[in-house]
Amino acid sequence: MTPEHPFVTHMRGTLGGESMKRPISKTAFYDFVGMTFDQLCDEIRALRVRLETLESADTYKGIWQRALPYRKGAQVSHQGALWVCLSDSNPGLQPSQNPTHWQLAAKPRTKGKLP
């Protein structure tokens, strides 16, 4: 079953069921446009924050350094392996020793020939 459109729900609450049988007024239409615009602006703001978080954290930060904090999604090299930070971490949380904060993404290459 398809959910009722927000405009219909709004109009039912504002005008009542009988009024829905008549064409809507300009005022009701403008009220709906204003309400919808506000909802869209809120959603866009939330998406911008999410995008900024993803773009700022999901990058390769180089070799892990104990003095630096790392954000969720940061990628580092440590002991020849690639690690991904699972949550914002404080300085000194070594990837190979903290599985709650770091996940192994790629094992180090073993000795021998490259494939």
The CATH code belonging to domain 58-106 is: 2.10.10.20
Distance separating alpha carbons of residues 96 and 78, to the nearest angstrom: 8
What contacts 77, CB < 8 A, 6 or more positions away? 62, 63, 64, 83
85-108 pLDDT per residue, tens: 999 989 999 999 999 999 999 998
The pTM is what? Answer: 0.50
Strand order through the sheet with 60-63: 60-63, 75-78, 81-85, 102-106
CB 91 within 8 A of CB 79: no
Is the confidence at residue 50, as pLDDT, over 80?
yes
Going by pLDDT thresholds of 50, 70 and 90, the confidence category of residue 44 is very high
Question: For the segment 57-92, what is each residue's pLDDT rounded down to a tens digit?
Answer: 558 999 999 999 998 889 999 999 999 999 998 999
**Over the chain, what is the mean pLDDT?**
83
Which are the contacts of 60, defined by CB distance < 8 A and separation ≥ 6? 75, 76
DSSP 2-23: PPPPHHHHHHHHHH-TGGGGSP
Q: What is the pLDDT of residue 10?
A: 67
Query: Residue 11 — very low, low, confident or very high, per pLDDT cuts 50/70/90?
Result: low
